Structure 1
Amino acid sequence: MFIMTHLKPAILLSVLVLAACGGGGGGGHHDNDSTPPQTTTPTQPDNGTTPAPEQPQSPPESKATLGSVSGVTYTTPDGNEYQMRRDGITFGGTWTESLVKADDTKVSSTSWCCGPMSYTLFGSWTSQEKGEHGVFYSGEGTAAANVPTQGSATYVGSGMRDGVRTDASFNVDFAAKTINGNITGNDDFGSAVAMQGNIVDGGFNGNAQSGGENGTFVGHFNGPAAEELGGIAEFADTSKSASFGATKQ
């Protein structure tokens, strides 16, 4: 038998406000009956292939390394669904729900954040029973046309790994289309995460490093005018993977 437990550190109740060739020709006259020379249009050699047009590589507006995420719903690999945002309720900390056996042995835990953010959700899932780690994020993505193309901005927020939250910050140069971020490391969270990438359409992607291991990160701007951002950093050692969210300052 499994029992659901609810851990709600730093819970604050408040009303949740939910603030798209033309060609020319020439002619000539010949005073004789000779047949005019025939001309042919030059053709390119046919090698049997036609190059496909290059498509924009827009990052997804939501992604989970384990399970799935859509809108405000995260579904664990076991099929359990969690609503990460509930009408009329917001909170300032991390919301964690755990699945435990009758003898209080923890099976798995799902954590997510953050109520103060209007357009972004992110979290982690851990199976203590199987030793598996997953991260996820979701948000109301900013249309590519509404992402700024000039100036720069700093985004400040949090990173999460295995239900532990720590500080995160991102420097975004919209004109150069670059983003650099850092999730602070500590004894509870583990090694810091550094990220360097490029803005692509409404989102961004690039390289990440944590604890001497190289990985990747991907994310998306959220809100009508890129007021927030969210994403995940992935590593082969999944215990180093982290999710994040941040708000424009």
Structure 2
Amino acid sequence: MGILKPGLLLTAFVLTACGGGGGGGGGGGGDSTPPVTTAPVQTDNGNTVTAPETPATAPVSLTTGGTLSGWTYTTPEGREYVMRGTGISAGLVQTQRLTRDDRSAVSSTSWCCGRMSYTTFGTWTQFEKGQHDVFYTGDATLAANVPTQGTATYVGHGMRESTLSDARFDIDFAAKTINGTITGNDTFGSEVAMQGNIANGGFTGNAQSGGQAGTFTGHFNGPTAEELGGLAQFADTTKNASFGATRQ
């Protein structure tokens, strides 16, 4: 076994000052109960027979692996990363990789986005075990401050491993519905389509990607729902994705 060496990679687009989200997180994700899902049952021709159940409520922070405490993410291997601090944030994506002395990758932790003020979302990948986890956290919007009338569009990104793809969410606050899409491409993988309902400051619903059914969960962030963050998860964890978006 080679010596493990941590390394920092920055995907730097611009230097931006982090806004009002520099304080504590919107509810410790380490104490959150992950959504209960039923794994899709596939027939021989790949058609989905049963869809997963959606969780009843949306936590303000959630991870499919490891733990969250405010802006700090601890990987399943026990490595701790503080994802949000004071001062200048470099670019959109920050990536920490653990490698062996032969430079082979063991694991990678990525989070985004320097341009968002209230939301952080990310991924953790263990290459040797083929484990893919996703997470989100933020300064949660009080349920009473989420709009109850009108519509809005939120634009941002989805993430798999350290790869970003464009994301868009159309919200009908009066009808309490959310419909979102993370664009598929050669580097990100298959598109993620999401349809769900808003309740208690967050949202939950069904997700589809590459012919597989899953669930998605998220929460509005900021004083008056300026941003949102969440994740989609599937029985095939390579399809898991986290996301964040800002109201236009």
TM-score, length of structure 2 as denominator length: 0.83
Maintained 8 Å contact 1:93/1:113: yes
1:85 is matched with which residue?
A: 84
Provide the rounded CA distance (Å) in 2 between the counterparts of 1:150 and 1:202.
14
Q: Map of 1:1-249 to 2, 5 A cutoff?
A: 1-18=3-20, 57-249=56-248
Aligned residues: 214
Deviation digits for residues 64-84 of structure 1 (CA, Å, limit 9, x no counterpart): 001112211111000000111
Give the aligned partner of residue 52 of structure 2.
none
More strand by share: 2
Q: Distance in 2 between matches of 1:151 and 1:218?
A: 22
Check whether the contact 1:157–1:168 (CA below 8 A) recurs between aligned residues. yes
* Partners of 1:129 and 1:112 in 2: CA distance: 21
Work out the CA distance in 2 between the residues paired with 1:62 and 1:170: 19
Give the aligned residue type for 2:238.
S
Change (3 A) 1:17 1:208: closer
Deviation at 1:17, TM superposition (A): 3.4
Change (3 A) 1:14 1:179: closer
SS of aligned partner of 2:144: helix
Cα distance between partner residues in 2 of 1:179 and 1:215: 16
User: 1-side partners of 2:176 and 2:18: how far apart?
Assistant: 33
Paired residues of 1:91 and 1:116 also in contact (CA < 8 A): no
CA distance in 1, matches of 2:121, 2:18: 17
- Deviations along 1:181-218, one digit per CA (max 9) or x if unpaired, are 00000000000000000001100000000000000000
8 Å contact from structure 2 (residues 109, 122) kept in 1: yes
Larger radius of gyration between Structure 1 and Structure 2: 1
How far apart are residue 134 of structure 1 and its match? 0.3
Q: When the two structures are superposed, what TM-score results if normalisation uses the length of structure 1? A: 0.83
**Is contact 1:57–1:200 with CA below 8 Å preserved after alignment?**
no
Q: Secondary structure in 1 aligned to 2:90?
A: coil
Q: Aligned equivalents of 2:105 and 2:71: distance in 1?
A: 25
What letter corresponds to residue 109 of structure 2 in structure 1? Answer: T
Q: For 2:17 and 2:237, how far apart are their aligned partners in 1?
A: 36
Q: State the Cα distance separating 1:16 from its structure 2 match.
A: 3.0
| C-alpha deviation, 1:248, in angstroms | 0.2
Gaps of 5+ in 2: 27-54
- Note the C-alpha offset of 1:90: 1.4
Q: Residues 137-166 of structure 1: CA distance to partner in whole angstroms, max 9, x if unpaired?
A: 001110000000000000000000111111
Deviation, 1:57, is: 4.1
- Determine the C-alpha separation between the residues in 1 that align with 2:201 and 2:65: 24
Contact 1:112 1:124 in 2 (8 A): yes
Distance (Å, rounded) in 2 between the aligned partners of 1:169 and 1:14: 22
Separation in 2 of the partners of 1:16 and 1:230? 16
Query: 2: distance between equivalents of 1:17 and 1:113?
Result: 14
